[in-house]
Structure 1
């Protein structure tokens, strides 16, 4: 066990428990050394059957637990800023789930804090960059055979929203992946956001604006539209189509099995993001573990986390005001 990377996992909810399972059963070169969650019973259940794991209610105690050499943050977004700064103070490499920090001011503080360290410690969990289909689309666009990308059409649908989900969270939580994917695929910053309100679905909880249609403008003139529908009732779907000068490319249509029998065909529809993007999560965490063991940090960083928060914040303001809102990015922090 001494040769394995000891990881403290902060958060043992739906996402955190899956990462605990992944580190224990899927990823090589790492082990779960500590878990922190306010619900101690939930944390103990997540590590049942594992040895050498300490369980804590206080995240700081998990960071300081014996054997911890790296941290995976899967707690709710509002807790991320304090956790990230705690990792920086201890010099611990960290993989932080999105959103890095929900508000742009807090996200910028994290980016500035890492810059003051003079080295990277944080990778942000935009796992679509590790998805096979997204990586193929990125390679195609970068290759230039279709010419300049002009538009992206994106779809993000969930079966249902969890309790307490707000209209703003359709943008700053659900659509944060589309924000990062658009920036990454196009290699452009988003400069303005317009949020539109279709008639809400009868399946949405009272008061929730769902679905929503977001329109992103980019610095070199590309447009990105994003349908976010978190109470579709039928499944989890993510699609993206790039429309370019000399053709188009679409991903997300065939990411499941089609069964043909008795004169008909049925197609499975994933019911959860952990099913649809299971391979991407596995590759992301494995890549993080491998890099961390070599003393490196790769993948999307704190600037990507900050930019996503700034774009989402503009989107929420547009949803509230009904107007196009410009994205105001701060100067990128530089190392001292």
Structure 2
């Protein structure tokens, strides 16, 4: 079976996923495109999906009988409506993060999906599919004993003027929120954010760097540095400290050179280079599960918990307090 996919949102990630489906992955083809700017959809059609039909709206695309499954790659504020439409149409839907821009929006998605009795939503937390993170998780579970602490960092070379302080949580740290829950099989009970001395490279509307401090229900303590104007490259760090040892996230593969009186390794400069293979794997996973009528991977519940946790972190940014994180009971659908 070839899964016929409709892509809603043909910006950067929508373009990349369409290219991925058409040229890299197996078992699917892009048959439909939609974007609020028709010229973007037309450009993507010409570049990678010449046989795809262009729809005026995402809702029309989702309702089309020609579409088996939906990719939601549009701006975050539209995700809730499109995912709800896909659930109502009983179509599997892959939604890039965030699942919704508010915890209430994510809750509505969870309730709608739960009412159908079938998991049809996969959220684009691609780090769960990254080979390095999977090696770290396997080592942690096999060799470290009970985890005690995590030390982590998320560094970007620079961010644009429109990037403001809360985006360090909602756009950047959101990946760590899901990754830590997945690594530990644990949920958060509190969050705190502290601000070191501000870098001179940060513009006026963003406090940078930041340190997020989390505590889990099992008592694991997590500290994560968010530094989005580090200048030197795109750098993701994670170290797990357990009762019996310490494990560190492997560095991306790179060739060490000796040249001009220097011993050096190249450093990546963007997230697409660092996690390109993980994007391939997560989307292939979605495609492979669509024919069964249900999907796996990060769930709507994971997206909901990430939204609740990120809201608490933003409150901690604003107040300086240790903010409690409280979750509702998890529906049996997500056990």
Deviations 1:15-44 (A, max 9, x none): 111111111111111111112211221222
Alignment map for 1:3-18 (pairs within 5 Å) = 3-18=1-16
1:318 matched residue in structure 2:
316
Correspondence 1:27 to 2:30 = no
1:43 matched residue in structure 2:
41
Deviates more, 1:159-168 or 1:313-322: 159-168
Correspondence 1:95 to 2:94 = yes
TM-score for both structures, normalised by structure 2: 0.95
The alignment partner of 1:6 has SS state of strand
Asked whether the equivalents of residues 102 and 307 of structure 2 are also in contact (C-alpha less than 8 Å), the reply is: yes
2:192 matched residue in structure 1:
194
CA change 1:213–1:305 in 2 (3 A) is: same
Displacement of 1:76? 1.8
Deviations 1:110-132 (A, max 9, x none): 11111001111001111111000
2:204 matched residue in structure 1:
206
Displacement of 1:161? 1.9
Q: Distance in 2 between matches of 1:121 and 1:162?
A: 35
2:51 matched residue in structure 1:
52
Alignment map for 1:289-300 (pairs within 5 Å) = 289-300=287-298
Asked whether the equivalents of residues 34 and 65 of structure 1 are also in contact (C-alpha less than 8 Å), the reply is: no
The alignment partner of 1:303 has SS state of helix
Deviations 1:154-210 (A, max 9, x none): 111112224522211111121011001110101100110001112222222212112
2:118 matched residue in structure 1:
119
Q: Distance in 2 between matches of 1:305 and 1:76?
A: 16
The alignment partner of 2:46 has SS state of coil
Q: Distance in 2 between matches of 1:311 and 1:329?
A: 9
Asked whether the equivalents of residues 71 and 94 of structure 1 are also in contact (C-alpha less than 8 Å), the reply is: yes
The count of aligned residue pairs is 332
Structure 1 spans left out of the alignment, 5+ residues: none
Displacement of 1:300? 1.1
Deviations 1:21-78 (A, max 9, x none): 1111111111111122112212222232422212234211221345210011111222
Q: Distance in 1 between matches of 2:237 and 2:177?
A: 14
Structure 2 spans left out of the alignment, 5+ residues: none
Asked whether the equivalents of residues 54 and 65 of structure 1 are also in contact (C-alpha less than 8 Å), the reply is: no
1:224 matched residue in structure 2:
222
Q: Distance in 2 between matches of 1:213 and 1:82?
A: 33
CA change 1:15–1:252 in 2 (3 A) is: farther
1:108 matched residue in structure 2:
107
Q: Distance in 1 between matches of 2:15 and 2:50?
A: 16
The alignment partner of 1:175 has SS state of helix
The alignment partner of 1:47 has SS state of helix
Correspondence 1:156 to 2:165 = no
Q: Distance in 2 between matches of 1:115 and 1:83?
A: 17
Correspondence 1:275 to 2:259 = no
Q: Distance in 2 between matches of 1:295 and 1:260?
A: 53
Displacement of 1:334? 4.6
Asked whether the equivalents of residues 100 and 302 of structure 1 are also in contact (C-alpha less than 8 Å), the reply is: yes
